[in-house]
Copies of this chain bind each other. A is one copy, B any other.
Amino acid sequence: MSPGIYNKSYLMTAGPTPLPPAVSQVMAEPILYHRAPTFIEVYERALAGLKTVFQTENDVLAFASSGSGALESAVANLVEAGEPAVVASAGKFGERWAELCEAYGADLTHLEFEWGTKIDPEQVDQALAGLDRPAKAIFVTHSETSTGVVHDVETLAKVAAKYDTILCVDAVSGMGAISLPQDEWGVDVVVAGSQKALMCPPGLAFASVSQKALDAAADNPTGRYYFDWNKTANGQRKSPADSPFTPGVPVWMALDVALKMISAEGLDNVYARHAALARAARAGIAAIGLERFGPDDDDANVVTGAYLPESIDGGKLPKLMRDGLGITVAGGQAHLKGKIVRMAHCGYYGAFDIIVALTGLEMALIDLGYDAKPGSAAGAAEKVLIEAGSPEPVG
């Protein structure tokens, strides 16, 4: 038995993610009445800050819910029972769009791509061309958390525009980690959650909705209440802004602080940090001798996936890392269970989190009988970190 040396916890999953101390601390402040000016100031500032991170002029609509609530809002506002809808998926979260469309009675065309591959915009184009009736909306995923793959939203937006279809993008794990310039790319709807790269606890979900999508929702007036986009937009557009339902006050206070931190770091620097950490993670994975899961894709900066060696009992690895070493990573989901490991680095992560996670992965693999050389993962990551930039010189 280890002499208690694994006494700390390291959270390396794609949500919830670790909170910066300033974010945790603000939630311990006295709770505010949500109609008082002190809260409305926080609320309005956070709503404005969201527009910057979403890279949009849209109102970013907010719901007290998990990220799935924001996904549901898109389907509930756009999909009519019996009417055509298209989902293109390549993973568990892509499939959630299909489940939602089915729950709302859509006449669904579901293009399923292999998990770990990218959605092929060409095939999406052909599918849209082949529909009997035009689909009002098509639903895709930005960063697919179950595989680590980042899909080509820019090209998918062009395809959607060609057919005048509203493109809805699940950017829950990617928002704030990798750039998704919504307005520049012409994406109608982008949904996200608070608990990933936005460095907040779970509890808030967002939908950045274009006027075109709001109008489409208005044409489909029934079938939802809590997640109604126009009701939420009308409240948020008031002066002072007003949430139609009680907002989760501490999470808003957290979001306000987190958005200030993102603004102080600078969005481009935030993306560069995620890119550097992901390069370090990929280098470490390779040095251990593991095969990367997913395409060799420099944009996959949210979650790094790797195939586990066939020689070990892969299903034991995440539990061994968590219970034995204090490091929480994710295994594979569904048919990938026991076959891959996923290490997230979206949000409040730094260089040494990657060193810790890779070292722990290496130690767990060795414990399960895999022949890895201690220090190889950390060394490869360290080289990448050094290349990413020397520490600031001091006088």
**Chain A: residues with CB nearer than 8 A to chain B?**
1-8, 10, 28, 265, 269-270, 272-273, 275-277, 316, 319-321, 323-327, 348, 350-353, 355-356, 359-360, 362-364, 366-367, 373-380, 382-383, 385-386, 388-394
The listed residue (B277, B320, B359, B377) touching A352 by CB distance below 8 A is: B359
The listed residue (B1, B5, B273) touching A392 by CB distance below 8 A is: B1
Q: Is the CB of A379 within 8 A of B385?
A: no
Complex Cα–Cα for A394 and B316 (A)? 7
Q: Is the CB of A324 within 8 A of B379?
A: no
Q: What are 25 A-B contacts defined by CB distance under 8 Å?
A: A1-B392, A2-B388, A3-B272, A3-B276, A3-B389, A5-B276, A5-B277, A5-B351, A5-B385, A7-B273, A7-B348, A8-B353, A10-B352, A321-B391, A323-B392, A355-B356, A362-B382, A364-B391, A367-B386, A374-B378, A374-B379, A374-B386, A375-B379, A375-B382, A379-B379
Contacts of A373 in B (CB 8 A): 379
Q: Is the CB of A355 within 8 A of B353?
A: no
Q: Is the CB of B367 within 8 A of A391?
A: yes
Q: Is the CB of B3 within 8 A of A269?
A: yes
Q: Is the CB of A319 within 8 A of B382?
A: no
Contacts of A394 in B (CB 8 A): 316, 319-320, 323-324
Contacts of A319 in B (CB 8 A): 394
The listed residue (B2, B10, B364) touching A389 by CB distance below 8 A is: B2
Complex Cα–Cα for A363 and B353 (A)? 15
User: Given that A3-B388, A323-B392, A324-B394 are contacting pairs, would A374 and B382 also be in contact in the complex, using a CB cutoff of 8 Å?
Assistant: yes
The listed residue (B350, B356, B366, B377) touching A7 by CB distance below 8 A is: B350
Known A-B contacts: A3-B389, A325-B352. Give 15 more (CB < 8 A): A3-B269, A5-B276, A5-B350, A5-B388, A6-B351, A6-B391, A7-B265, A28-B28, A324-B392, A325-B391, A356-B356, A363-B382, A374-B378, A374-B383, A378-B378
Complex Cα–Cα for A74 and B331 (A)? 57
Complex Cα–Cα for A299 and B82 (A)? 76
Q: Is the CB of A4 within 8 A of B356?
A: no
**Chain copies in the assembled complex:** 2
The listed residue with most B CB atoms (<10 A of its CB), out of A4, A28, A391, is A391
Complex Cα–Cα for A363 and B324 (A)? 28
Contacts of A265 in B (CB 8 A): 4, 7
The listed residue (B327, B350, B362, B367) touching A8 by CB distance below 8 A is: B350
Contacts of A356 in B (CB 8 A): 352, 355-356
Query: Can you list the 9 inter-chain pairs with the closest CB atoms, starting with the nearest?
Result: A375-B379, A324-B391, A2-B389, A3-B272, A378-B378, A374-B382, A375-B375, A5-B351, A374-B379
Contacts of A386 in B (CB 8 A): 363, 366-367, 374
Min CB–CB distance A123 → chain B (angstroms): 36
Min CB–CB distance A174 → chain B (angstroms): 18
Contacts of A5 in B (CB 8 A): 273, 276-277, 350-351, 385, 388-389
The listed residue with most B CB atoms (<10 A of its CB), out of A356, A375, A389, is A375
Min CB–CB distance A1 → chain B (angstroms): 5
Contacts of A320 in B (CB 8 A): 391, 393-394
Complex Cα–Cα for A6 and B277 (A)? 10
User: Given that A3-B269, A363-B391, A379-B376 are contacting pairs, would A326 and B355 also be in contact in the complex, using a CB cutoff of 8 Å?
Assistant: no
Contacts of A327 in B (CB 8 A): 352
Contacts of A382 in B (CB 8 A): 359, 362-363, 374-375, 378
